[in-house]
Amino acid sequence: MNRFPIKVTYGIMATIELAQHDRDTPLQAKAIAARQGIPSRFIEQILQGLKQAGIVRSLRGAQGGYTLAQDPNQITLAELVNSMNGNEVKASTTGQLTAQTKKRGASITILSTIWEQVQEAEQAVLRVISLQSLVDQHQKLESQRSLMYHI
């Protein structure tokens, strides 16, 4: 089950592609989209969101494109997910649950407490996974896949 919106999944895929690429040479959005199978109509808005979050940098011009703003070991999956989801959404949802809690009573209080715990646990897991670990897993799966084709 995928709990992430497709926008988040595409953002993670784009950063994996950038992490596999030389950080000194920008990679164009259309190349990222082609290599990762991301629809071209989404790639620019995804990369702009990552740029606003400080995860990627862009360089204009004929030789321009995108690079990671920091080392893949320093970027956590939590940063990627939160930058694409937006923390403002979670904060406003929590506020709404608190207002509803006063009106509906104990059942909503119990459920909202459980959902807050689930979100905290999810964030704890995402904070310990680095972009570099995703790149390593990706490369391992790709090498296994290429071996299967040669058998």
pLDDT tens string, the chain, 151 residues long: the values are: 567 889 999 999 999 999 999 888 999 999 999 999 999 889 999 999 999 999 999 999 888 999 999 999 999 999 999 998 875 444 434 455 555 545 667 878 888 889 999 999 999 999 999 999 999 999 999 888 776 655 5
Angle of CA points 14, 15, 20, to nearest 5°:
100
Angle, in degrees to the nearest 10, between helices 77-85 and 87-104: 70
Q: Specify the DSSP element, H or E, that contains 87.
A: helix 87-104
- Fold of the CATH domain 6-150: Arc Repressor Mutant, subunit A (1.10.10)
pTM for this structure? 0.79
Report how far apart, in Å, the C-alpha atoms of 35 and of each of 14, 63, 91, 108 are. 9, 18, 35, 45
Domain ranges of the chain: 6-150
The pLDDT of residue 109 is 83
